[in-house]
Structure 1
């Protein structure tokens, strides 16, 4: 059964914002109570957070679909809906978040580091919040905004100071077991180690972590064997230690060739040329191994490597090796640039940034409006309510959308689409000549959406209302 997973595709869905409430206060002896609809609650976020107790992405391999809770709708009596609960997903230290195209979104290193993978939608305003001196009793409320959704790729890159690299059965796991308190599985057959093993080593005043990278064979960088799955774990390591088997039983192999093969795979993988290297000639407790180590050591040192002879079984040369690695690690840490303190970066909005764009889509034959505000306003509008549609028209007009449509060449009756291709609201544009609450009639209505009456008909209707004695009585009778 799979117990270690270092790459998963995770489907995340944030919570939707709750709808606002359209309500009017009703109480005995208070006929003009006014609007009292509450706002909708905010949807929950999906948050990735580094947890040192988590070492694998196995949980998300089995359950790749995660969703936060929605915000509750608002209610009457000015009661706002409850916010949705954030969904916190613990991930191992060293997790990289990428999109489907492979672009890095976040690199999560360090306990408590967080990243919002999906942002919850904001709640819709109730009619109490929408009321104003000119719109005293709105007959509508705003819908909540849907939460963001999508797929992210999580890749785990082991956070360690030192990486042991080499052929299978070269003795990497054995070295970790004697240098640290780690207890990896050890056997005398290839690919015993199927997951990276981590150990903590103390050498004098230096404490460092060491990891072995399993499955490196010729062609590993191209996906052969297990190498491609675990080469990413080398990326964060500051020092590379080649573990060479001097007592191999395979007639077509020798330590120098093994070193050249592994170096070629690291070169093909890329990005590791600046890592300092050292060589460990392992298994010198075997007579043939000791003899071969003494034979090839001068050649390796002529290449510039620091070479150490060791035996994990006989515990030979381990102290010298651990202190030499500590020296490499201390030097790498000293050369690493100091992390700057967190700075607050203020990016003011450009004075000529309208917050939206208007362009003619020749393929669809419509003028397409794109922008965070117009698209959000459209999603919040109840198109079955004329007053809500009129309120949307007011907001778009104040934002300058109509002015930009005119400049782009739009005329009355032209098609206008607000939003992306697959999620756009399309309508026939009618330029707004008048805007504001003075255009409203009864609650839930907007005269701008009615077909204009001929002038003669408007005069006849006005004369009929003036000459209607019953209407005059209704208008001026005392309140009952």
Structure 2
């Protein structure tokens, strides 16, 4: 049973941020010494890191659920919570990270390349950090932000310069074993090779890697045999080498037909049309194999292929083949654009970018507010604390959410939803005329959150106040 896995679905969850602490300093002769609640710690990230010592995704096949640690909550006496520990996951060189829809998130090539698959949540601020001249002793703290949780797909695409393709038992593994120091499993039956073999070849001053693609048969691009699983491993190669068996014992096969069938599978898979091709007529140490090679070589050369005759057993034609591959690999490397030094790209915000949007959702009959700051503030608000909700209202007002709601046509009592359709906080909007500490009553309370009177009741109260004869006297009475 093979232990090679090159595609897995990974469920990652970053750590949650720790909650801030609401505390008041107390000691002898200082019963109310001011707020001293510490901040919560940051949640740990989930980070993918390339490690060239890793060659398979087997660990994540057996354990697909990975979670970083949470940040610790803050405490009194201005003690901040401990940050969560990042979870580092080592992946093979050439791992591609995709989302559930197949969009590429990262292509991890090169030792030490990293990608943050899950961002840890921010820690909540304690009441010491929330205090100000207007709010000297906040009776609340912010909650820690939940860590990012998502599903990603990891696909391994072997990083090789040369890819050997051909029918099972064509001799690909034998060629790799004599061209390099690789020790693949070799036997005389189909599908001996169940995993891609990788070897390093030195030809003069050029060092390159060579790999074989196991299990290519007719229909491989549609999932027959093992080909569909491993065709992705040739995507990074610089040159394709067709290994043709000139001594096959199957009467219904011949090298030229094998070449046509493999080329058709590569064409259906797609993306490999621009790669140069070389043909290797293998097993020419067998008399019948040499005779067949002599017959088909003119036809292959007429098609434009560069043809080599080789034998892994007799060590024939290997030097010429290795140096020819080195030349093609060198040309491909020289043609690649040079990697530019890392640059910092600064993209300033547009002058009219408010950082959020307000739209009317007809299906839900609400005004929907979307934006990084409003949504994060909602997640960090303790809705069991009236003062915390009032603080949220102040922040949204300062950001300009109320102004945009008015411009969008919202009226008092209309529904407002902050967040996505699946996870939103919905409330009836009441425009705020005043904001700040002057609206607060006892600690932990906010008068703005009292149940609003119905519109009809408010209208009757205004009419009654206008018609009240005592109103004029009360306004001008100096006593």
SS in 2 for 1:421: coil
Between the aligned partners of 2:147 and 2:103, the Cα distance in structure 1 is: 22
Deviations 1:141-192 (A, max 9, x none): 0000001101000000000000000000000000000010000000000000
SS in 2 for 1:256: helix
Structure 2 contact 358–404 (Cα < 8 Å) conserved? yes
Structure 2 contact 40–81 (Cα < 8 Å) conserved? yes
Mark the CA change 1:290 to 1:2 in structure 2 (over 3 Å): closer, same or farther: closer
What is the aligned partner in structure 2 of residue 284 from structure 1? 284
Deviations 1:255-314 (A, max 9, x none): 111111111111111111111111100000110000000111111111111111000011
What is the aligned partner in structure 2 of residue 156 from structure 1? 156
Mark the CA change 1:439 to 1:283 in structure 2 (over 3 Å): closer, same or farther: same
What is the aligned partner in structure 2 of residue 475 from structure 1? none
Between the aligned partners of 2:189 and 2:65, the Cα distance in structure 1 is: 38
What is the aligned partner in structure 1 of residue 190 from structure 2? 190
Between the aligned partners of 2:435 and 2:222, the Cα distance in structure 1 is: 64
SS in 1 for 2:233: helix
Residues 1:241 and 2:257 aligned together: no
Structure 1 stretches of 4+ with a deviation exceeding 4 A read: 451-457
Between the aligned partners of 1:348 and 1:26, the Cα distance in structure 2 is: 46
Between the aligned partners of 2:130 and 2:28, the Cα distance in structure 1 is: 25
Structure 2 contact 40–72 (Cα < 8 Å) conserved? yes
Equivalence map 1:449-460=2 (5 Å): 449-451=449-451
Residues 1:232 and 2:248 aligned together: no
Deviation at 1:321, TM superposition (A): 1.0
SS in 2 for 1:444: coil
Between the aligned partners of 1:343 and 1:410, the Cα distance in structure 2 is: 45
Between the aligned partners of 1:47 and 1:155, the Cα distance in structure 2 is: 16
Equivalence map 1:252-331=2 (5 Å): 252-331=252-331
SS in 1 for 2:181: coil
Which segment is superposed worse, 327-336 or 282-291? 327-336
Deviation at 1:30, TM superposition (A): 1.5
Structure 2 contact 42–84 (Cα < 8 Å) conserved? yes
Between the aligned partners of 2:348 and 2:452, the Cα distance in structure 1 is: 44
Between the aligned partners of 1:24 and 1:170, the Cα distance in structure 2 is: 78
The RMSD of aligned alpha carbons is: 1.6
What is the aligned partner in structure 1 of residue 178 from structure 2? 178
Between the aligned partners of 1:122 and 1:80, the Cα distance in structure 2 is: 13
SS in 1 for 2:389: helix
What is the aligned partner in structure 2 of residue 221 from structure 1? 221
Residues 1:133 and 2:140 aligned together: no
Structure 2 contact 50–113 (Cα < 8 Å) conserved? yes
What is the aligned partner in structure 2 of residue 334 from structure 1? 334
Deviation at 1:450, TM superposition (A): 2.7
SS in 1 for 2:261: helix
TM-score after normalising by structure 1: 0.94
Between the aligned partners of 1:389 and 1:47, the Cα distance in structure 2 is: 34
What is the aligned partner in structure 1 of residue 46 from structure 2? 46
What is the aligned partner in structure 1 of residue 380 from structure 2? 380
Counting matched residue pairs gives 460
Structure 1 runs not aligned, ≥5 long? 464-480
What is the aligned partner in structure 2 of residue 478 from structure 1? none
Residues 1:77 and 2:77 aligned together: yes
What is the aligned partner in structure 2 of residue 211 from structure 1? 211
Structure 2 contact 2–194 (Cα < 8 Å) conserved? no
What is the aligned partner in structure 2 of residue 99 from structure 1? 99
What is the aligned partner in structure 2 of residue 56 from structure 1? 56
TM-score after normalising by structure 2: 0.94
